[in-house]
Amino acid sequence: MIAIIVAIALTAMTPLGGVQTPTSPPVWGGGGPDEYGYRWLDSDTTCPGAPTYNWVEIKGVGTQVTGLGDDNVVGPFALGFDFPYYWYLVSQIYVGSNGYIAFHDNALDASPFQHMPNPERPNNLLAPIMSDIDMSAGGTIWYWTNSASDTFIVEYDSCPFWNTGGNNTFEIIISRPDSAITFQYKEQSGQPYNGWAPDNNQTGIENVGGNIGLSYLSGTIPPGNMYHPELAILFFPPESSSMEVHDAGIRNAMNDRNGGIFVLNGQPVTLWGVAKNFGNQVESEFKSFVKVKRTSGSVLFYDSIATTVTNPGDIDSLVFTNTWTPSSNGTFIIEIYTVLPGDVFPPNDTAKVEVHVLTLPATLTYDKGTPDAYYSWNGPGGYGNRFVPPIYPCNITGIRMNSQSATGVQCAFGLFDDNGQGGSPGDTLYITTVSVSTPQWYTVNLPSPVTISEGAFFVGAMSAVSSDPSFGMDSIPPISGQSWEYTGVWAPSRDLWVRDACMNAMVVATGINEWIGPVPVPAPLGIDVRPNPFGNSARIKLVNPCGNEKAIEIYDATGSLVRNLELVHGKAMFDRTNKAGQVLADGIYFARLPGSSSPVAKLIITH
C-alpha cells in the first residue's frame, strides 16, 4: 500500500530519496562481481555454470508462514544450519510480505522500494520480487529445511500485488554445500500498482550493511531481465575473497531497536549497548564511548569503556560504569559509538537513542507538539506509536492524536497491548470511535485508567475509509524509531527513522494523581551474579536491596526479554532457560530490575 502526503504544515517536506540508476549487467545473462566477489547467472543464458530451472514444491510439505498481510514482516525462522553469506555466517530469516526475506533483520521494506544495495534498513536482503505484494488479498508462504539440514527454501505461492491482483509464485533456495542462492519463478502475471518502475520493484541481494550487493532488476532495467515463468537466477560467491573487512559497530543500544525511551527526572539511568565485530578480521581491544547530548548538540555526559569483539561475529555487551542522572525535563539524545582504527563502514559505528526526561504525571510523546505534514493511505489504514513507560506499574489515563479530514470521518482510536506476534499490537486494552474534521489534537480521556505492569503498549488509530482521515507527522530530528503503520495488519513504519506519528499517551504513577517534583525512587546499588561466566545455573543477588523488589528481568544481547525471575529476599536462581523452559544458547545476557533506573549486570553463559 502507498502512503500519501495530503497536507503540509509549518515546514516544507523534501521528496522521499532519489532513485539510483542501476548499472545494466551484461546481456549474456550474467552480472557482477560486487565488491566482495558475488556474481549472478540466469537460466536465459547458455554460459557454463548457468542454472537450470527446477522447481521444488514445498507448499503443503513445509511450514506455512502466518501473520502476514499488506506490508509487514514476521519471524525469525531458523535455517537449521549456519550459512556463509559474504564474510559472515547467518542462521535465521525474517519473511516480508513484499516479496523478500532478510537475514537477522526485521525492518519493513515497503513502497517506494530503493535500489539495491542500499544502506537503509532492512539489510541482508534476498529479494526475488521486492514489490507491493498484498498477502491479505490471497496467497500463502511456506518454508522448509531438508533432512540433511543443508538446504532451506522459502516459497511464495499465488501472491497478488496490492490493488492490481496478478499471480506471483516464486521461491528462494539457500544451499549450504555451495554457498549459493537461487531464485526460481514458476508464475508471474500482473504488475504492481503504478506499473513496473524503479521504485516499484527490485530484485537482488545485499550484505549486512547494505553497501555491497547485486541488482538483477530495478523496474524494467535492464529489459532483458524481466520476470517470466521458468526463470532461475543463481547468486554465487567467489571461491575465495581477498577483501579484508575491518568493521565494528553498535548493534543496538538501550533496547533491542534503538527506539526512543522515557526516563524520570532525577533518577539515575544505566547506559548500555551491544557492540559487534561485523567484519572478517581479528581485532584488538578498542574503545567505545557514550555521550548524552541536548538536541542542540551540547554534551551533558561522557563515558568510555574497553571493548573486546576479537573474532568476526563476536559481540560484547557494553555497560558503562557511570550512570547519567537527568536534572531537567526535555528531549535528549544518547549516542553510543565505537572507534575502531581502520573501520571501513562508519554508518554502523553509532547508535542514537531519543530520550524524553519527564516528571509524572506526564504525556508520553515523541513529537514536538505540532505536525509538519499529514499522511494518509491510498486505501484503509492507520498509524500508531509504541511506548515503554518510565516506571512500572503506571496508569494510562488518556490518549490523543493529531489528525484532519476535509469531509469529516470516523476512525477507531485505541490502546493496545504488545502481546501480538513479534511484539506487535495485540489485545485491545481500550478502543473508541473519534470523529475527525478540522486539523487539531483529538483527546480521549479513558473512563477508567489502564494499568501497565510490564512491557510496552501502543496507541493507534485505524480508518476503514480510503485516504481519510490523514494523520499528523513530525519529521524534525531526533526521531524515535517507534512509529508503526496499519495496512490491515500492524508493522513497524516503513518511514521508521524519517518521521514520528503524532500520537500520545497520558500517564500517572499507580495511586498518585500528581507529583510536585522529582520523587526519588530507591534502587539497589548493584546486581551480583555468581558464578559468572556460568554453565548451568547462577545465583543472582541484589546488593543493598530496598526490600520491595519482586522480580528481576533477563534480556538477551538484542535487548529482548527472555525470562522473569521471582526474587525472594533479594535473591534468585537462574537456570539458563527462557520463559518457555527452553535452554538458552551460550552468549551474553543482561540482568536488571524493571524500570529505567535499575542497575544492570552482564551474564555470560558458556560451557
Domain boundary at 180, 212, 236, which?
Answer: 236
Residue reference for cell 494523581: 513
pLDDT value at 551 more than 90: no
pLDDT band at 548 (very low <50, low <70, confident <90, very high): confident
Task: Check pLDDT > 90 for residue 472.
Answer: yes
Final residue before a domain boundary, out of 236, 258, 279: 236
106 pLDDT tier (thresholds 50, 70, 90): confident
Q: What is the pTM of this model?
A: 0.76
Neighbours of 224 (CB within 10 A): 15
Give CA–CA dist 111/474, Å, rounded.
Answer: 20
Residue 601 lies in a domain: yes
Residues 223 and 336 in one domain: no
Instruction: Read off the pLDDT band of 9 (50, 70, 90).
Output: very low
| Mean per-residue pLDDT, 523-531 | 76
The answer to whether position 15 is within a domain reads no
Is 35 found in the same domain as 61?
Answer: yes
CATH number at residue 267: 2.60.40.10
Distance, in Å, from the CA atom of 312 to the CA atom of 281, rounded to the nearest integer, reads 6
Report the pLDDT averaged over residues 496-520: 73
pLDDT reading at 54 higher than 70:
yes
Answer yes or no: do 390 and 494 share one domain. yes
Is the per-residue pLDDT at 496 higher than 90? no
- pLDDT of 313: 86
**pLDDT-based confidence at residue 561 (cuts at 50, 70, 90):** confident
Distance from C-alpha of 550 to C-alpha of 393, rounded to nearest angstrom: 12
pLDDT band (50, 70, 90) for residue 18: very low
Lowest-pLDDT range, 222-226, 357-361, 536-540? 536-540
Give Cα separations from 47 to 16, 232, 552 (angstroms).
40, 13, 60
Peptide bond just before 229 cis, omega within 30 deg: no
Domain-terminating residue out of 337, 358, 379:
358
Per-residue pLDDT for 405 more than 80? yes
**C-alpha span between 366 and 375 (Å, rounded):** 17
| Mean pLDDT value across the chain | 89
Domain shared by 323 and 417, yes or no: no
Is residue 81's pLDDT more than 90? yes
**Torsion angle defined by CA atoms of residues 336, 339, 344 and 347, in that order, rounded to the nearest 10 degrees:** 20
CATH assignment at residue 474? 2.60.120
Query: What SS3 class is residue 567?
Result: coil
Same domain, 255 and 232: no
* 58 and 207 belong to one structural domain: yes
Q: For cell 527490485, what's the residue?
A: 202
pLDDT at 28: 55
Q: What are phi and psi of 506, to 5 degrees?
A: -95, 125
In a domain, 7, yes or no: no
- Pairing label, strands 248-253, 201-206: unpaired
Mean pLDDT of 581-589: 84
Does residue 93 belong to any structural domain of this protein?
A: yes
Position 4 scores a pLDDT of 58
> Stretch 317-340: mean pLDDT, rounded?
95
Give pLDDT tens digits for 181-220.
999 999 999 999 999 999 999 999 999 989 999 999 999 9
pLDDT at residue 519 tops 70: no
pLDDT of amino acid 12: 29
What is the arithmetic mean of pLDDT over 310-339?
93
CB 270: neighbour CB atoms within 10 A? 20
25 pLDDT more than 50: no
**428 within some domain:** yes
Give the confidence band of 329 by pLDDT, cuts at 50, 70, 90: very high
Domain count, the chain: 4
Residue 604: pLDDT band by 50, 70, 90 thresholds?
Answer: confident
**Average pLDDT score over residue span 226-254:** 93
- Residues 142 and 210 occupy one common structural domain: yes
Predicted confidence at residue 29, as pLDDT, reads 76
Residue 595 predicted with pLDDT over 90: no
Q: Phi-psi bin for 195: left (phi > 0), alpha (psi -120 to 50), beta? A: left
- Once rounded to an integer, what is the mean pLDDT over residues 110-117? 92
Q: Lowest-pLDDT range, 124-128, 361-365, 493-497, 541-545?
A: 541-545
Average confidence (pLDDT) over 499-503: 97
Largest CA distance in the chain: 78
Residue 221 domain flag: yes
How much is the average pLDDT of 209-233?
95
Same domain, 353 and 408: no
Predicted pLDDT of residue 556:
81
CA distances from 524 to 272, 303, 514, 542, 563 (A): 18, 22, 25, 6, 20
Query: pLDDT of 244-298, one tens digit each?
Result: 999 999 999 998 889 999 999 999 998 999 999 999 999 999 999 999 999 999 9
The percent of residues above 90 in pLDDT, for the chain, comes to 65
Whether residues 24 and 146 fall in one domain: yes
pLDDT score of 6 more than 70: no
Q: Is the pLDDT of residue 528 over 90?
A: no
Examine residue 84 and say whether the peptide bond preceding it is cis (omega within 30 degrees of 0): no
**Interatomic CA distance for residues 153 and 258, integer angstroms:** 31
* Residue 515 within a domain: no
Are both 282 and 399 inside the same structural domain?
Answer: no
Q: 443 and 320, same structural domain?
A: no
188 and 96 in one domain?
yes
The CATH number that applies at residue 587 is: 2.60.40.1930
Look at residue 598 in the predicted model and tell me its pLDDT. Answer: 67
Instruction: Answer whether residue 417 shows pLDDT above 60.
Output: yes
Residue 13 lies in a domain: no
Average pLDDT estimate for 470-481: 96
- pLDDT over 90 at 569, yes or no: no
The whole domain housing 110 covers 20-236
Distance CA 463, CA 487 (A): 10
Evaluate if residue 558 carries a pLDDT over 80: no
Q: Distance (Å, rounded) from C-alpha 607 to C-alpha 587?
A: 10
